[in-house]
Structure 1
């Protein structure tokens, strides 16, 4: 009598709700580490001079104090709670859904890119209000005292923007923000997944593997997304009444095409570690869930 062959165990997945929660928590934890770099990057993008990252950092500390490097942290955390929660949650959900529909076969690089674009665009739209508050809060210290907005925290910023400028201003620069997110996520999520698969043949599963894949992903993402990011930053910090077209044409006319990569070092030193930390935290949360549940 033939023995019944046991069915292979079904591959386990993290529930969809936790995919979103883990994505947001991972991004928020990474932001707590790299917020000073985000502030320096924003100041450099808004500056017309050719100062180095170290010069800008030194000026901020001497004029505003060391703790000012964490100005806008509340907005950065809200941005991660909205944008990163949405984009990583949607990406992982779409990724797993694809595998389920295709007999466990992971999507190829092209499909990963499409999934990244989709997830990033939705996440960026959701996160634009926090992005506007973040840009304004991190830029405030460079203005003369009488011109500063002096937002107390991200919630004060959002309520004042609604009261003083109207609710639609919370989505100022939404188009370049979504465009940037599409570029970032097409590069970041797809290259991370692809690099992870390549490195897996040489590096054991664990933090080292996640680190290697994240650094590759961060570099590609920085090169591809900087031009859209600086345009987004200028638009969201623009004076009242200045159109988006005026902001972009003024930037290109006065500072040249290469100004679109201004602040490359702080951008990469911010995006690289943030990418590394976000994916490491996310991978550890996923692993802990699968191990202990």
Structure 2
């Protein structure tokens, strides 16, 4: 058979695999960082409503979890964390990679502003899809800090979703959807755009090649920028999704109400409460997600498409 008659291998990874690889990478990363997500949520809820702070720092929160809930307590809410990645991250990374490819023209990547716009779009859609798993995760990780008579006692994310829908109404699964979507738009605009841009800029220096070390450095830069920008939105989301209805009235009217009450009762910098566990959760999660994703894309391109020179696709 002549070379001209051979069927050329496809030049792009099929869209369905972009989504599957995105979700798979996020779920794999969550297995490593779930304990940090738990500590971050506990820190953000500590001192809520003007009460005395339960945890002064992340180490104290971690010791409290070990003491009161045991070794397995640090993985409370894992099923919800995995479902969140299966919905939210599958959607956001799949859409981002698809749009990134669409707007790459003549071998040139999209501009930074275009990357940010793609990230906003991908994050907003992904967050809406992932909100039910998100609210289950918040409640499951918060349960251990409540008195025995106030614990919700969800046995799994599916039990949480069923009980939320039957006890509080289906729409409750999208409670806090607006701050969740807002946070995701901020996170993805910063995270995905800075990661892609950091990769480009680092490679231009001539000191980096498209390899594991480059992905690690770009991910850490992305994680720091994302943590700083997104924490105020994240704390509003966390408190709204965990709030109870008291005498028929919700504790908070919305994200702005959370910020006003939080700043008034706990100070301005409380909007970055839990920064350390948030960064040490988001940083490694960003690193691991992008590394897993880049490797999945690279392996598919090499062994399925027959293109060993292909990059990771971000």
For Structure 1 versus Structure 2, the TM-score category normalised by the shorter chain is over 0.9
Q: Out of 266, 270, 273, which is 1:255 matched to? A: 266
Distance apart, 1:199 and its partner CA: 1.6
* 1:91 is aligned to 2:96: yes
* 1:282 is aligned to 2:282: no
Aligned 8 A contact 2:259 2:271 in 1? no
Distance in structure 2 (CA, Å) of the matches to 1:112 and 1:87: 13
Distance in structure 1 (CA, Å) of the matches to 2:92 and 2:36: 22
Look up the match of 2:12. Answer: 13
Q: Out of 139, 142, 145, which is 2:142 matched to? A: 139
* 1:126 is aligned to 2:117: no
Distance in structure 1 (CA, Å) of the matches to 2:253 and 2:238: 11
Distance apart, 1:104 and its partner CA: 2.7
> Any idea what the Cα deviations from partners look like across 1:45-103, whole Å, max 9, x if unmatched?
0001261100100011011101100000000000000000000000000000112xx32
Change (3 A) 1:112 1:10: farther
Q: How does 1:17-36 map to 2 (within 5 A)?
A: 17-36=16-35
Look up the match of 1:218. Answer: 223
Look up the match of 1:103. Answer: 106
> Any idea what the Cα deviations from partners look like across 1:180-216, whole Å, max 9, x if unmatched?
0011001000000000111223212211010000000
Please report the TM-score for the alignment, with normalisation by the length of structure 1.
Answer: 0.94
* 1:271 is aligned to 2:282: yes
Q: Out of 253, 256, 271, which is 1:244 matched to? A: 253
* 1:52 is aligned to 2:51: no
Look up the match of 2:310. Answer: none
5+ long unaligned stretches in structure 2: 1-7, 48-52, 305-314
Please report the TM-score for the alignment, with normalisation by the length of structure 2.
Answer: 0.88
Q: Out of 62, 69, 72, which is 1:64 matched to? A: 69
Aligned 8 A contact 1:86 1:122 in 2? yes
Distance in structure 2 (CA, Å) of the matches to 1:12 and 1:113: 25
Distance apart, 1:258 and its partner CA: 1.1
Distance in structure 1 (CA, Å) of the matches to 2:112 and 2:259: 33
Look up the match of 1:4. Answer: none
Distance apart, 1:10 and its partner CA: 8.8
Distance in structure 2 (CA, Å) of the matches to 1:272 and 1:289: 26
Distance apart, 1:248 and its partner CA: 4.2
Distance apart, 1:274 and its partner CA: 0.1
Distance in structure 2 (CA, Å) of the matches to 1:212 and 1:173: 33
What is the aligned-residue RMSD (CA, Å)?
1.3
* 1:168 is aligned to 2:171: yes
* 1:187 is aligned to 2:190: yes
